[in-house]
Chains A and B, each alone.
Chain A
Amino acid sequence: MELNPPLEIDKALLKKRNAAETRFKLYGLAAVLTAVLVLGLLLTSIVSKGYTAFEQTYILLDVRLDQATIDPKGTGRQEDLAAASYRGILRDALKEQFPEAESRNEKRSLYGLVGSAAEYDLRNAVLENPKLVGTTATIAVKASDDVDSYIKGFIPRDVPQSDRKIKDQELGWLDTLEADDRVIKKFNIDFFTHADSREPEEAGILGAVIGSLYTLAITLALCFPIGVLTAIYLEEFAPRNRWTDIIEVNINNLAAVPSIVFGLLGLAIFLNFFGLPRSAPLVGGMVLALMTLPTIIIASRAALKAVPPSIREAALGMGASRMQTVFHHVFPLAMPGILTGTILGMAQALGETAPLLMIGMVAFIADIPGSINDAATVLPVQIFLWADSPERGFVEKTSAAIMVLLAFLVVMNAIAVLLRKRFERRW
């Protein structure tokens, strides 16, 4: 039974109103779903572009490891083995595999099948197992990035030869190799143990990860104590006056200053004025600390504010000084909130790129940094650098590096959430 509407109500209007209600609700749902869908799209596009980077194509070659070429003196010492020219041996093996390559150009493209650092794969195999010397061994060497891309299916066969990185002749060789089961894929451990390289098949993220760690360590060492002490001062000790008002307004505004402006600050003050080293995690960490400081101060103040005044009154009532009250009671109680805020601030700093470009952390650095004064890069900047590289092989590396970065961020955020859940206190 339906309730009779009051006589004055227009029934047609009512229908329209209900339709409008449904429509409005659908708009809302569509908005949420759009956001979720875009997130899904973004993650899928990255994973689908990047998961292949965790595998690397290797070519199995029968290599003749003559005693005469590798270790003519027969000492068998590691230094002597390492000093041998493996490039020639590798080339001989390739020539033996495909004797039909005769002209210079043909030979060059034949040698190009393996990566530019493939000789080191060979050398490492010999060093690991010196008994191989004097035998003909089947050794897996890294394929070049173009071959790698082709094997992973990124270079289609059906485009005309002139538009294709892998030419017909190379395709023929690869087909033969594949038919002999000489093309294999292995887990790409080098991606996690190498620093950056110009060759996609050699490039890894370890240098950037270490750079990020150094940078974050500096950031944390600076902005945690400074941020927490500032928050304690403003929340617990500072008199309410014009000066503290200025500090407060200032902190809120700093929180919204574009990050690139902090980079300009770092360039003008730290590099040009103080003459600190360019590209160094030390300066990167300092810039990020200034950028993260407002976040930590604001979070810490909120955590301190959440501690009820009754705790302070109780401690003061027992004869504790203000300082003792704060450091013995209020600060420990606010600690989980402060830590959560700090971790979130650190996560933000870890993902930050723009200010680091300003202070030169964007240079190509093939070494793993050894100290905070060495030239280094960080994960997001490495992503930016790789995204800019023209080689096909870097696309998957970029996506893979993004996956690593996101994994770090997920872990940090998960810790923050756990901390909050574990220590959340309702007063």
Chain B
Amino acid sequence: MDMQNFKTREKAAMAEPKIIARDVNVYYGQSQALKSIELDIAANEVTALIGPSGCGKSTFLRCINRMNDVIESCRVEGRITLEGIDIYNSGLDPVLLRARVGMVFQKPNPFPKSIYDNIAYGPRLHGIASGKDELEATVESSLRRAGLWEEVKDRLDSPGTGLSGGQQQRLCIARAIAVNPEVILMDEPCSALDPIATAKIEELIDELRENFTIVIVTHSMQQAARVSQKTAFFHLGELVEVGETDKLFTSPEDQRTQGYITGRFG
């Protein structure tokens, strides 16, 4: 890993937000899923997106690495920039964007291949590791950073689908960080896991914050409170309120936020 690279990134991050969303509207066919979202996401922080289901938080997350491109009926308007560059710029290759903005999904989705091949998939695609030794080193360091190395180092050749749910999710995180992205998007990464596995992942997220900018969608307010520095509350496709996590949960400004965090709806 190129430590120099991380340093420069960190410096840049201090100056301005990593990701800036301005007037983002998303439509699925006729219906509007997101209405005029304005959000800044700071570097090397964990930003949590919360809200009742169907509020558009996952849709917004998928806008950040253009995963919505895959859905035919989906249309995105507005501007999202990554370090000042419009990611919906027509000349931009979504492949490159996704190499810089990784993603972890709700259900662990390892490829039906060996653990090793799962991790090596990204580096091989992008030609990041030259040579077998370097690739092995990348795999090892990714697994270490995902806290999975000790558990799987003896069975790198066994299929990734044979791991437990929590291990699979950490494998997916390791797979995401193997291409050394700047941002990691997490879409309810713990919703399919038991409490112990969840705790491990939350711990991991906190560690990863040092090197990555993390955006996490969660339906659990406790989780948001535990892992995030900033929290954004979505409701019915609108961004209702965003702020420091502590502040948002103790003294929300908006009625709706108040209602949601006190459990009146959601």
Asked if the two chains touch in their complex, CB atoms less than 8 Å apart, one says yes
Which A residues are closer than 8 A to B by beta carbons? 1-10, 13-14, 17-18
Measured CB to CB, the closest approach of chain A to B139, in angstroms, equals 15
Checking B5, B97, B127, B181 against A3 with a beta-carbon cut-off of 8 angstroms, the contacting residue is B97
* Contacts A3-B96, A6-B99 known; 13 new A-B pairs at CB < 8 A: A1-B89, A1-B91, A3-B89, A3-B97, A5-B96, A6-B179, A6-B181, A6-B182, A8-B128, A9-B99, A13-B127, A14-B96, A14-B126
Contact of B67 with A by CB under 8 A: no
Residues of A within 8 A of B100 (CB): 3, 5-6
| Contact across chains for B85 and A9 when beta carbons are under 8 A apart | no
Which positions 44-94 of chain B face chain A at CB distance < 8 Å? Answer: 82, 85-87, 89, 91-93
Give Cα A5–Cα B95 distance, bound, in whole angstroms. 10
Distance, CA A263 to CA B182, complexed state (A): 68
Contact partner of B85 (CB less than 8 A), chosen from A3, A7, A14, is A3
Given known contacts A8-B180, A9-B96, A2 and B91 CB-to-CB distance under 8 angstroms: yes
A1 to B89, CA, bound (A): 8
Residues of chain B within 8 A (CB-CB) of A1 are: 85-86, 89, 91
Is A7 a contact partner of B2 (Cβ separation < 8 A)? yes
Q: For B182, what are the chain A residues with a Cβ–Cβ distance below 8 Å?
A: 6
B11 to chain A, nearest CB (A): 15
Interface residues of A, dominant DSSP: loop
Contacts of A5 in B (CB 8 A): 96, 99-100
* Closest chain B CB from A19 CB (angstroms): 13
Q: How would residues 85 to 121 of chain B score, 1 for a CB under 8 Å from any chain A CB and 0 otherwise?
A: 1110101110111011000000000000000000000
Distance between Cα atoms of A6 and B8 in the complex (Å): 13
Could you tell me if A17 and B181 are in contact, using CB atoms closer than 8 angstroms?
no
Q: Return A73 CB to nearest CB of chain B, in Å.
A: 85
- With A1-B89, A2-B92, A13-B127 as contacts: A7 and B5 at CB distance below 8 Å: yes
Contacts of A17 in B (CB 8 A): 95, 125
- Which residues of chain B have C-beta atoms less than 8 A from A2's C-beta? 85, 91-92
CB-CB under 8 A from A6, the residues of chain B are 99-100, 179-182
Q: What residues on B are CB-neighbors of A8 within 8 Å?
A: 2, 126, 128, 179-180
Are A9 and B127 touching (Cβ within 8 A)? yes
Residue numbers in B under 8 Å from A18 (CB-CB): 93, 95
Given A8-B180, A9-B99: A3 touches B92 (CB 8 Å cut-off): yes
Q: Give me the 5 closest cross-chain CB pairs, A-B, nearest first.
A: A13-B127, A10-B127, A8-B128, A3-B85, A9-B126
Residues facing A in B122-139 (CB within 8 A) are: 125-128
Interface pairs (25), CB distance under 8 Å: A1-B86, A2-B85, A2-B92, A3-B85, A3-B87, A3-B92, A3-B93, A3-B96, A3-B97, A3-B100, A5-B99, A5-B100, A6-B179, A7-B5, A8-B126, A8-B179, A9-B96, A9-B99, A9-B126, A10-B128, A13-B126, A14-B95, A14-B96, A17-B95, A18-B93
Q: How far is the CB of A17 from chain B (nearest CB, A)?
A: 7
Contacts of B179 in A (CB 8 A): 6, 8
B180 surroundings in chain A (CB, below 8 A): 6, 8
Q: B89 — nearest CB in chain A belongs to which residue?
A: A1
Check B126–A3 contact: CB distance below 8 A: no
Interfacial chain B residues near A9, Cβ < 8 Å: 96, 99, 126-128
Q: Are B126 and A10 in contact (CB under 8 A)?
A: yes
A17 to B127, CA, bound (A): 10
Indicate with 1 or 0, residue by residue over B207-250, a CB within 8 angstroms of chain A CB atoms.
Answer: 00000000000000000000000000000000000000000000
Instruction: Find the A residue at minimum CB distance from B182.
Output: A6
Query: How close is A120's CB to chain B, nearest CB, in angstroms?
Result: 65
What residues of chain A lie closer than 8 Å to B85, measured between beta carbons?
1-4
Cβ proximity bits B1-35 to A, threshold 8 Å, 1 near / 0 not: 01001000000000000000000000000000000
Shortest CB distance B231–A (Å):
28
- Nearest chain B CB to A129 CB, angstrom units: 69
